């Protein structure tokens, strides 16, 4: 994957509490790192997080699937960059594609995918994504695949 295809990136520092008994970042922590990338991606559009944890755009977006492929290890105090993009959008769902890279070594640590679904606020049933959201993503992502 070409990292130039990723319009959003954020760097984080590995903390001691992210490390497992083997001396590397625990496998479950990468899910937290990917979530940081997804949240910062959405915040980059100017949305703010409310006290209830939702964004002020009114969408109720939930993660329904995560997958990770581990490629290498990360250690305490290393700087990792989380590259995030949306790779496709359907009527009510979309997929985040993410890569975590060690900034010092430029080695890919892991690649992840997360599928999100937009839910109706009251019924918690899936509902179509608003056109405003789709337009924002289309203008931000150059290689977006819209699936009917």
Q: What pTM did the predictor assign?
A: 0.93
Q: Where are the alpha helices (DSSP H) in the chain?
A: 29-43, 131-140
The Cα angle at residue 111 between residues 8 and 108, in degrees rounded to 5: 85
Other beta carbons within 10 angstroms of residue 31's beta carbon come to 14
Q: Which two tokens stand for residue 22?
A: 């083997």
Domains and CATH numbers, the chain: 3-146 (3.10.129.10)
* 3-state helix vs strand vs coil in the chain, percent to 5: 20, 40, 40
CA distances 137 to 54, 63, 66, 147, Å, are 19, 17, 20, 14
Alpha-carbon distance of 148 to 146, in angstroms, equals: 6
Report whether 63 contacts 87 (CB < 8 A): no
Q: How confident is the model at residue 147 (pLDDT cuts 50, 70, 90)?
A: low
Express each pLDDT in 30-78 by its tens digit. Answer: 999 999 999 999 999 999 998 888 899 989 999 999 999 999 999 999 9
Q: How confident is the model at residue 8 (pLDDT cuts 50, 70, 90)?
A: very high
Other beta carbons within 10 angstroms of residue 23's beta carbon come to 9
Length of the chain: 148
Alpha-carbon distance of 49 to 143, in angstroms, equals: 27
């Amino acid at each position: 994957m070409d990292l130039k295809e990723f319009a959003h990136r954020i760097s984080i520092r590995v903390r001691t509490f992210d490390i497992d008994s083997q001396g590397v970042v625990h496998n479950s922590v990468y899910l937290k790192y990917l979530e940081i990338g997804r949240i910062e991606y959405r915040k980059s559009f100017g949305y703010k997080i409310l006290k209830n944890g939702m964004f002020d755009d009114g969408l109720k977006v939930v993660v329904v699937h995560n997958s990770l492929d581990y490629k290498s290890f990360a250690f305490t105090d290393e700087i990792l960059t989380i590259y995030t993009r949306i790779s496709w959008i359907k009527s009510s769902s979309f997929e985040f594609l993410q890569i975590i890279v060690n900034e010092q070594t430029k080695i890919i640590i892991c690649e992840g995918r997360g599928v999100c679904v937009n839910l109706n606020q009251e019924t918690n049933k899936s509902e179509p994504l608003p056109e405003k959201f789709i337009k924002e993503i289309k203008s931000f992502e150059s290689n977006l695949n819209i699936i009917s």
